[in-house]
Amino acid sequence: MIGGPTAVATPETSERPPETKLTPGEWVRKNLFSTPLNSLVSILFGAGLLYLLVGVVGFFITADYQIIRVNLANFVVGRFPRDQLWRPVFATGILSVAVGLTAGGLTIRAEALARETGSTFRRSTPGDWMRRFWPLLLMIAVMLAFTTTVTPTLVSLGVIGSGVVGNYLGRLLPAGARRWGWSIPLLGLAVAYLALSGFGGLDWNQWSGLHLNLFLTVAGIVFAFPLGLALALGRRSTLPTVRAISVTYIEFIRGVPLITLLFMAIFALGFLLPEELRPGNVTRALIAITMFEAAYIAEIVRGGLQGVPSGQVEAAQAVGLTPWKTMRLVVLPQALRHTIPAMVGQFISLFKDTTLVTIVGLTDLLRVSNQANAQPDFLGQGLHFVTLAFVGLIFWVGSYTMSREARRIERRLGVGER
């Protein structure tokens, strides 16, 4: 049917792709007015949206922010003695350094890894940091806009500066620092705690404001993690009683709202403890939060453990590792890596849940908003909108930033959905 194989002449150069950039006019046409229905929706929706935006923006422009200016310190540190504010500042600085150190150390590790695998690694520039954390920076700028002196601005710059210094120092860490590197954040927390409460400072039962929310979040996760880990391992245990205890605890706690545990802690804990042992309110809240979070962390860790292929355990056994060593050196490192995104999600959840302590009388950031509105200068002026928007901004930025970081980690690790 055919002659011999035929060759097709090949073009010399590859040509440019056809221009596909849309002009603004075309973009509008394509995205908003592509079909009659689409156009109708765009017009109606656009009109409604515009109305709403004008109303909201107008409100915020004409609102009176005096209530925030006056109460700014209350919002951030609650009733912390004003002459001891160097303590929270110092603590924040220490934590900033610790975070910087960890970040720097991780950068070095990533670089080393990239060099080994032959892939490229790009150091983040200050521009990258700003693009990544712009909500956070915007929030700090907004808060500083409410200050009356220049000190807070200087302090903020100082804290950010110490973070940057920490980052550079972290990059100087030897690559082998991996083994004890995880202790840096914990050490930072311990030093920060000492700065706040040691040497004549304020016991944590007196902390309030945003400070209290942050403390409850961090302490909650730190204390709940070992308990959660133990519960997760207990749930997978082959020993029936250990398993039963773990399962009962986890399912019970996950079935009740956090507020009931807070009630139990604030109102009923006293009955369960002997006369001499009466913890302060913040301690009680912390106990409730720890017990609550431990159950959820247990489920997250359980998910991570299930994700480790059984072949790993078999290989470890074949090599002769004891059960404990297998768990510690083979299973847990893999399992916990996979849980990082979910853990960050739980962290965010807890951060938002710390607002519940206002119901049991603790003065957290949300309660400060109510208290500010009850002050004689501001009573009955309908300023809840303003203060709640401010508090909302702080929580929103915190959650959103951590959310984005979690997604970033997920992408980096290649875990999560396909």
Partner 1 sequence: MTADTYTDATQAAGEAMIQLEAVDKFFGDFQALKDINLSIGQQEVVVVIGPSGSGKSTLIRCINRLEKHDRGRVVVDGIELTDDVKMIQVVRRETGMVFQQFNLFPHLTVIENVTLAPRNVRHIAKQEAEDLAMTMLTRVKIPEQAHKFPGQLSGGQQQRVAIARALAMQPKVMLFDEPTSALDPEMIKEVLDVMEELAQSGMTMIVVTHEMGFARAVANRVVFMSDGQIVEVGTPEHFFTDPQEDRTKLFLSQIL
Partner 2 sequence: MTATLHPMPVRPPFWRDLRVIRVVTQLAAVVVVGLVVAWLWNNLTTNLEARGLPMGFEFLDGPAGVNIADNEFRPSQPVRDALFVGIKNTLALVVAGIPLLTVIGIVVGVSRLSANWLVAKSAAVFVELLRNLPPLLIIFFVFNAVILELPGLSESWSPFGLLVINNRRISVLGFTASVGVGWFWVLVLVGLLIAFVVWRWRTRRFDDTGEPHHRVLWAGGVLLVAVVVAYMLTGRPVRISLPALEGRRIEGGYSGLGAYFGVLAALVLYTSSHIAEIVRGSIQAVSQGQVEAADALSLSPFQRLRFVVLPQAFRIAIPPIINQYLNYTKNTSLAIAIGYAEITRIVNQAIGNANPAPQMILILMLIYLVFSLTISAVSNVVNRRLRIVGRT
CB distance 112 to 176 below 8 Å: no
CB distance 349 to 224 below 8 Å: no
174's contact among partner 1, partner 2, none, with CB below 5 to 8 A by partner kind, is none
- What is the distance of C-alpha 243 from the center of its chain? 31
Integer Cα distance of 88 and 92 in angstroms: 6
Candidate ranges 15-23, 41-49, 307-315, 398-406; the one touching partner 1 (CB under 8 A):
15-23
Residue closer to partner 1 (CB basis): 2 or 272: 2
Residue closer to partner 1 (CB basis): 5 or 126: 5
Strands (E) across 25-85 are located at: none
Check residue 242 for interaction with partner 2 (CB under 8 A): yes
CB distance 353 to 296 below 8 Å: no
Integer Cα distance of 411 and 413 in angstroms: 5
The secondary structure element, H or E, covering residue 392 is helix 384-413
Check residue 37 for interaction with partner 1 (CB under 8 A): no
What DSSP string runs through 287-339?
A: HHHHHHHHHHHHHHHHHHHHTS-HHHHHHHHHHT--HHHIIIIIIHHHHHHHH
10's contact among partner 1, partner 2, none, with CB below 5 to 8 A by partner kind, is partner 1
Name which of 197, 175, 230 is nearest 84 in CA terms.
197
Give the relative orientation of helices 134-145 and 384-413 as an angle to the nearest 10 degrees: 160
Candidate ranges 3-11, 203-211, 369-377, 404-412; the one touching partner 1 (CB under 8 A):
3-11
Shortest distance, CB of residue 112 to partner 1, whole angstroms? Answer: 31
Note the maximum CA span of the chain. Answer: 104
Give the relative orientation of helices 365-374 and 66-77 as an angle to the nearest 10 degrees: 140
Shortest distance, CB of residue 179 to partner 1, whole angstroms? Answer: 42
> Distance between terminal CA atoms of the chain?
49
At residue 163's C-alpha, the angle toward residues 226 and 68, to 5°, is 90
Integer Cα distance of 300 and 338 in angstroms: 10
Q: How many residues of this chain interact with partner 1, rule: CB under 8 A?
A: 15
Integer Cα distance of 195 and 207 in angstroms: 13
Check residue 324 for interaction with partner 2 (CB under 8 A): no
DSSP letter, residue 228: H
Candidate ranges 7-15, 41-49, 81-89, 303-311; the one touching partner 1 (CB under 8 A):
7-15
Residue closer to partner 2 (CB basis): 238 or 310: 238
Can you tell me which of 38, 124, 306, 375 binds partner 2, judged by CB under 8 A?
Answer: 38
Shortest distance, CB of residue 206 to partner 1, whole angstroms? Answer: 59
Candidate ranges 12-20, 132-140, 167-175, 389-397; the one touching partner 1 (CB under 8 A):
12-20
Check residue 274 for interaction with partner 2 (CB under 8 A): yes
Q: How many residues of this chain interact with partner 2, rule: CB under 8 A?
A: 56
x-or-dash pattern for partner 2, window 371-400, by CB under 8 A?
A: --x--------x-xx--x--xx--xx--xx
Check residue 276 for interaction with partner 2 (CB under 8 A): no
Candidate ranges 14-22, 212-220, 292-300, 390-398; the one touching partner 1 (CB under 8 A):
14-22
x-or-dash pattern for partner 1, window 257-286, by CB under 8 A?
A: ------------------------------
Candidate ranges 9-17, 96-104, 177-185, 381-389; the one touching partner 1 (CB under 8 A):
9-17
Paired tokens of 248: 């009962």
Check residue 408 for interaction with partner 2 (CB under 8 A): no
239's contact among partner 1, partner 2, none, with CB below 5 to 8 A by partner kind, is partner 2
Check residue 245 for interaction with partner 2 (CB under 8 A): yes
The beta-carbon contacts of 186-194 under 8 Å, at least 24 apart in sequence, are: 186/222, 187/98, 188/94, 188/95, 188/97, 188/98, 188/99, 188/101, 189/95, 189/98, 189/218, 189/222, 191/91, 191/94, 192/90, 192/91, 192/92, 192/94, 192/95, 193/91
Chain residues that interact with partner 2, rule: CB under 8 A = 31-32, 34, 38, 41-42, 45-46, 49, 238-242, 245, 252, 254-260, 263-264, 267-268, 270-275, 348, 352-353, 355-356, 358-359, 366, 369-370, 373, 382, 384-385, 388, 391-392, 395-396, 399-400, 403, 417
Chain residues that interact with partner 1, rule: CB under 8 A = 1-11, 14-15, 17-18
